[in-house]
Amino acid sequence: MAVTSLGYVRLNSPDIAAWRRFGEDFMGMMRVDGNDPDSLYFRLDEYPARIVVTPAAEPSLGALGFEVMHARDLAAVVRDVEAEGIKVTAGTAPECAERRVTGFARFDDPAGNAVELFYGPILDHVLINTPLVSGFVTGDMGLGHVIVSAEDVPTAFDFYERVLGFVERNTAGPTYFMGCNPRHHSFGLAPKPGPGSMLHLMVEMASIDDVGRALDRAGELEVPMMNTLGKHTNDQMLSFYVYSPELYAVECGWEGLRVETAVPTYGITEGALWGHKFTPPPR
Ligand SMILES: [Fe+2]
């Protein structure tokens, strides 16, 4: 019983118009209609919307959607989470319908990040159509990866490893990178004072040309650059980073490492083999 993938990310944003442009015109995701006419729904593949952005006064993480195998595993993981003294709430039928999942339950992790465990995505058989990107790499590796903050990283890491079943891939000083499928890391925790918050989202594109064209679009659309093109030391991803409308670090990557067998954890002293030169946020 463990999380099998990062299935979806829900974000609350004060600037839906900016996200529409960012998600559709820059990232090249397929925008589709959903149950809430005010929210943005972006597909990457046959799964229901992988990224959902809902209007809100302040930017925040709505939820990390982690997938489990089926109803029985959901019930088992929920019991384990409750045994930690964490309050878990079952998703209602309308909430399941809006997410297009068969069932889910929500709780806050020990750092205060909103988590939803779900099973049974209702697949969309309307062919994915992303004219700007030849494809997104998902499948058995899920949506991509996210990094959130925790004031107390060791306590949050213990919860994700011991209770949700994540595997430690590597550390970078106080930051932990964790896997739950062949993707090198689906999830990470970085220290930051205050309640847990969204820091970073990565989507993987099918070809190096997709990343190059996304880099061109960032320039044309004046999406602020965060890290120049570079290659990571841990997941070997070739990528660049921009700032989202809320100044999250959004990474467009290619050819990240698949970790097929158990590999001992390790520490890294540099984030990049080359490139990834940093530019501070625009405001
Ligand atoms: Fe990343």
Smallest CA-to-CA distance from 70 within 8, 124, 123, 4 is with: 4
Rounded CA gap, 283 and 270, in Å?
A: 26
Tokens at 182, concatenated? 């062949």
pLDDT at 283: 78
Question: Ligand 1 center to residue 102 CA distance, Å?
Answer: 29
Rounded CA gap, 171 and 175, in Å?
A: 6
Question: Ligand 1 center to residue 177 CA distance, Å?
Answer: 10
Q: Are strands 51-55 and 145-150 parallel, antiparallel or unpaired?
A: unpaired
Identify whether the C-beta of residue 276 lies closer than 8 Å to the C-beta of residue 227: yes
What is the location of CATH 3.10.180.10 in the chain? 5-121, 139-275
Could you list the pLDDT tens digit for every one of the 283 residues in the chain?
Answer: 699 999 999 999 999 999 999 999 999 999 999 999 999 999 999 999 999 999 999 999 999 999 999 999 999 999 999 999 999 999 999 999 999 999 999 999 999 999 999 999 999 999 999 999 999 999 999 999 999 999 999 999 999 999 999 999 999 999 999 999 999 999 999 999 999 999 999 999 999 999 999 999 999 999 999 999 999 999 999 999 999 999 999 999 999 999 999 999 999 999 999 999 999 999 7
Q: Which residues of 210-220 are buried (b: 16+ CB within 10 A; e: fewer)?
A: bbbbbbebbee
DSSP one-letter code for 26: I
Beta-carbon count within 10 A of 237 CB: 24
Question: Ligand 1 center to residue 100 CA distance, Å?
Answer: 27
Question: Ligand 1 center to residue 134 CA distance, Å?
Answer: 20
Could you tell me which residues come within 8 angstroms of residue 77 by beta carbon, excluding any fewer than 6 positions away? 1, 2, 3, 68, 117, 163, 164, 165
Dihedral, 14, 16, 21, 27 alpha carbons, nearest 10: 80
Question: Ligand 1 center to residue 201 CA distance, Å?
Answer: 7
Question: Ligand 1 center to residue 231 CA distance, Å?
Answer: 10
pLDDT at 136: 98
Fold of 5-121: 2,3-Dihydroxybiphenyl 1,2-Dioxygenase; domain 1 (3.10.180)
Fold of 139-275: 2,3-Dihydroxybiphenyl 1,2-Dioxygenase; domain 1 (3.10.180)
